[in-house]
């Protein structure tokens, strides 16, 4: 009996010791810079519900860890979040983790627009990314805005909305600008009244990357994302402080001064600061007496602060202020003020202020809760003549907000994202002339769910569903499904389909006029169905020639399209639902090749976008049916970089004559001239930074060579729609200084 008791006691003791050993592993994690091997004091290491911060030697100590394979999540300001696995017990004194600095993360691109923070090559949704290298290059070529770099893509067309106002709009897949959603850091606040000006006036120096999603993403972001989405991502502080000054001057008398500063205020607090001034003088390029380039002063300030509240919790807070003043029209009126002989002077002043907050909490490596919110105030004042001897003055203000709470979980083979959001838009007229347009308040509440189900290592199914309720226009259900097959590291295929909608808002489509009315009760919301497919292939020849090929196809169908119709007899401008449907079908092809110090890009886009009337189809205006783009660059590391890019725009139509069909105004399409647009640059790098000489529109392609931009008389000008370049050949010299 004693022997049995002794054996039982020993067995119980071993069990207790085994359990104690199982639960009491201690792991020392040494966190280092992957490039320099320097230690990173203050880095946060998380294992399940246990966490620790690295000490002065860059070592974090975790206790009470179980035996077996555990996953570590390591975060640090200025570095990409890192996930690694380690098997316990660990025999060596320290487990070493190498982190990648954000400024060095060029090859592996993490996409935030899809909410899963996945690598670009593993996404069921096709996303094209212009990364940090492209942003740094563009900041010296066209430092004032991002319009130029977006226009380099074959699938995107940048259209000037008026031959004198200097404002640009984005068209994707042959569709009008209102069908492309623009967001900053995942916050879509460029809509309604505030979307009519300054969307593209973001300096590239402020950006980490731009994410372009082709096709509908309304299931994730709600109304408006029918043709696609452009999400501009701001820079984050790197491990090393950065101080950059950029100076630029062009032959159009444009002057730019932009600055970027980043660093750390403490181990747990980082910051970035962008400030810029872009000054343009009025220029009459084609000598017709009216300014293609307005007198334009733009100032921007964008500070952001990054807080590491704990091992599991981060908080980012940003402020944005953008002041934009323009004066355009008759050159004599711009210089000396309007008069009876030269009355046409258009003045525009706008101020955009915003604050955004993004909070993330990692409950575990497989469970992240996020909350983001932003409030934006946009005030715009317009002053222009609209009748002989009469001026129109308008002053309005829009207050917008976007708030979202989302939950991302990894549940076995499912990557599940659920969330709720609230979007508000309030418009108020201020001290304006009499105008029928009334104040409005729009509130949209939404619920969404997305599931990335990895059926096998090669095949993923993504399903999504959104429910939105608009306080004026009712409810919308938006389903979406995507299939992703990764045959190998070299070949992948995608197929996706989703629905979208666009709620009526006349200020989203047109500038205010003296006779603008609010949406009528008969105006319906637009509905869309989209299908996208693409094939990606990449390989390496001769150990040095890297080739990447993408072939995409897309289709979109839009019902109940809206258009602003002006009744010149009764002096009324109203938003009306049209009696036609819109379709867009096309293909987008691009090839990227890298050989030693050479880079080559070839892109071709073909789009058939049509308005379908009963018994008649009319081509969508301002859609180049064929667009070819190419870029060739050569670099000598640390010394030289030079390149040339060209695009050919063909088979484009503009508005022609007007007639009435079933009581509605119909515009014929009139084909316009094809044209080449060529640009070239050369950069010399020095120890202090770099000097760049750039030329845009080398061949001097201009719409004015084929058609008058302004018709009528000096006192009653009529402005033709813009379908081609206006600025002519432009040289600019920029100097970037790294302090």
- Point out which residues pair with 132 in neighbouring strands: none
The residue out of 232, 247, 264 marking a domain boundary is 232
* Residue 442 near residue 428 (C-beta atoms within 8 A): no
Helix (H) or strand (E) holding 5: helix 2-23
Q: Which of 26-35, 37-46, 270-279, 716-725 has the highest mean pLDDT?
A: 270-279
> Within this chain, do residues 193 and 337 fall inside the same structural domain, yes or no?
no
Cis link prior to 89 (omega < 30° from 0)?
yes
**199 has a pLDDT exceeding 70:** no
627 lies in some domain: yes
Q: What is the DSSP letter of 381?
A: E
**53 and 127 together in one domain:** no
Residue with tokens 């320097």: 38
Q: Which residue among 69, 100, 131 closes a domain?
A: 100
pLDDT at 17 > cutoff 50:
no
Window from 89-93, 137-141, 202-206, 432-436 with minimum mean pLDDT: 432-436
What per-residue confidence (pLDDT) applies to 459?
Answer: 94
* Assigned domain for 108 exists: no
Query: Counting beta carbons within 10 angstroms of the beta carbon of residue 133, is it exposed (0 to 12), middle (13 to 18) or buried (19 or more)?
Result: exposed
pLDDT at 18 over 60: no
The CATH code of the domain that includes 192 is 2.170.130.10
**The pLDDT of residue 389:** 56
The answer to whether position 608 is within a domain reads: yes
151 and 258 belong to one structural domain: no
Ranking 20-24, 234-238, 335-339, 507-511 by mean pLDDT, the lowest is 20-24
CATH number at residue 88: 2.60.40.10
Within this chain, do residues 245 and 228 fall inside the same structural domain, yes or no?
A: no
Position 109 in a domain: no
- 104 pairs with which residues across the strands? none
Is 617 found in the same domain as 515?
A: yes
pTM assigned to the model: 0.83
Is 170 found in the same domain as 22?
no
Q: Is position 170 within any domain? A: yes
Q: What is the pLDDT of residues 87-140, one digit of tens each?
A: 888 888 899 998 887 654 444 567 777 777 677 777 887 888 888 888 888 888
Among residues 193, 210, 232, the one where a domain terminates is: 232
Is the same domain home to 581 and 648? yes
Residues 93 and 165 occupy one common structural domain: no
Total number of domains constituting the chain: 3
Co-location of 199 and 253 in the same domain:
no
Same domain, 36 and 126: no
Output the CA torsion 279→285→291→293 (10° steps).
-30
pLDDT tens readout for residues 367-407: 999 999 999 999 999 998 876 657 889 999 999 999 999 99
Give CA–CA dist 398/376, Å, rounded. Answer: 8
Residues 338, 327 contacting (CB under 8 angstroms): no
| Any domain includes 300 | yes
Q: Is 639 within a domain?
A: yes
Number of helices and strands in the chain (H, E): 5, 42
Q: Does pLDDT of 254 surpass 80?
A: yes
Residue range 595-620: mean pLDDT, rounded: 91
Helix or strand (DSSP H, E) at 150: helix 147-151
Q: What percent of the chain has pLDDT over 70?
A: 92
Range of the domain at 627: 233-738
Residues 707 and 617 in one domain: yes
Percent residues over pLDDT 90 in the chain: 49
Give yes or no for a contact between 9 and 75, defined as CB atoms under 8 angstroms apart. no
Tokens at 404, concatenated: 């979202």
**One domain for residues 166 and 298:** no
Residue 175 within any structural domain of the chain? yes
Q: Could you read off the pLDDT of 344-353 as tens digits, one per residue? A: 999 999 999 9
Residue 634, pLDDT score: 94
């Amino acid at each position: 009996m004693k022997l049995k008791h002794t054996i039982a006691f020993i067995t119980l003791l071993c069990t207790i010791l085994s359990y104690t050993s199982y639960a009491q592993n201690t792991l020392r994690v040494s966190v280092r810079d992957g490039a320099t091997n320097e230690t990173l004091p203050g880095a946060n290491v998380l294992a399940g519900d246990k966490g620790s911060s690295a000490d002065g030697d860059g070592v974090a100590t975790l206790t009470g860890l179980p035996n077996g394979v555990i996953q570590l999540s390591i975060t640090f300001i200025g570095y990409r979040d890192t996930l690694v696995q380690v098997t316990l017990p660990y025999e060596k004194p320290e487990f070493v983790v190498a982190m990648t600095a954000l400024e060095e993360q060029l090859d592996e691109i993490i996409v935030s627009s899809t909410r899963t923070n996945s690598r670009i090559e593993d996404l069921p949704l096709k996303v094209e990314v212009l990364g940090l290298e492209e942003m740094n290059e563009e900041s010296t070529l066209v430092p004032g805005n991002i319009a130029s770099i977006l226009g380099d893509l074959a699938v995107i067309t940048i259209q000037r909305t008026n031959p004198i106002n200097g404002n640009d709009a984005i068209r994707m897949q042959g569709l009008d600008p209102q069908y492309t959603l623009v967001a900053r850091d995942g916050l879509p606040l460029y809509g309604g009244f505030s979307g009519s000006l300054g969307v593209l006036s973001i300096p590239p120096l402020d950006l980490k990357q731009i994410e372009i999603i082709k096709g509908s993403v309304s299931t994730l972001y709600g109304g408006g994302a029918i043709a696609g989405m452009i999400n501009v991502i701001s820079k984050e502080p790197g491990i090393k402080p950065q101080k950059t000054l950029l100076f630029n001057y062009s032959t159009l008398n444009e002057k730019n001064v932009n600055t970027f500063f980043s660093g750390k205020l403490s181990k747990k607090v980082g910051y970035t600061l962008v400030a810029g001034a872009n000054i343009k003088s009025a220029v009459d390029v084609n000598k017709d007496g009216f300014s293609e380039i307005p007198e334009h002063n733009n100032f921007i300030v964008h500070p952001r602060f990054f807080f590491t509240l704990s091992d599991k919790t981060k908080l980012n807070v940003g402020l944005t202020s953008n002041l934009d003043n323009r004066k355009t029209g008759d050159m004599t009126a711009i210089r000396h003020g309007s008069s009876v002989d030269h009355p046409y002077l258009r003045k525009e002043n706008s101020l955009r202020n915003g604050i955004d907050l993004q909070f993330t909490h990692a409950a575990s490596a497989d469970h992240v809760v996020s909350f983001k919110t932003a409030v934006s105030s946009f005030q715009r004042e317009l002053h222009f003549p609209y009748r002989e001897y009469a001026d129109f003055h308008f002053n309005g203000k829009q207050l917008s907000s976007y708030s979202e709470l989302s939950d991302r979980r990894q549940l076995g083979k499912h990557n599940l994202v659920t969330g709720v959001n609230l979007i508000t838009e309030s418009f108020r007229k201020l001290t304006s002339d009499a105008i029928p347009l009334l104040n409005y308040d729009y509130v949209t509440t939404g619920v969404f769910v997305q599931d990335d189900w990895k059926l096998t290592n090669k095949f993923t199914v993504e399903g999504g569903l959104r429910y939105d309720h608009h306080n004026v226009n009712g409810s919308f259900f938006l389903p979406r499904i995507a299939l992703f097959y990764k045959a190998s590291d070299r070949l992948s295929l995608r197929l996706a389909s989703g629905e979208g909608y666009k709620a009526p808002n006349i200020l989203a489509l047109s500038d205010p006029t003296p006779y603008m009315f609010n949406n009528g009760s008969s105006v319906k919301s637009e509905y869309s169905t989209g299908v996208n497919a693409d094939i990606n292939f990449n390989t390496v020849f001769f150990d040095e020639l890297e080739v990447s090929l993408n072939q995409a196809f897309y289709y979109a169908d839009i019902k109940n399209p809206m258009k602003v119709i002006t009744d010149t007899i009764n002096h009324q401008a109203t938003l009306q639902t049209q009696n036609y449907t819109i379709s867009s079908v096309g293909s987008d092809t691009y090839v990227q090749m890298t050989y030693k110090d050479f880079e080559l890009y070839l892109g071709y886009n073909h789009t058939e976008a049509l308005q379908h009337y009963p018994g008649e189809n009319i081509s969508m205006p301002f859609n180049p049916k064929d667009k070819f783009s190419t870029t060739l660059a050569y670099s000598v590391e640390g010394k030289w970089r030079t390149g040339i890019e060209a695009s050919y725009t063909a088979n484009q139509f503009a508005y022609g004559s007007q007639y009435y069909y079933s009581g509605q105004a119909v515009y014929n399409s009139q084909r316009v001239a094809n044209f080449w647009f060529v640009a070239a640059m050369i950069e010399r790098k020095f120890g202090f930074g770099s000097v760049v000489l750039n030329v845009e529109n080398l061949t001097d392609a201009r719409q004015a060579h084929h058609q008058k931009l302004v018709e009528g008389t000096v006192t009653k000008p009529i402005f033709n729609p813009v379908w081609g370049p206006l600025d002519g050949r432009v040289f600019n010299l920029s100097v970037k200084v790294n302090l």
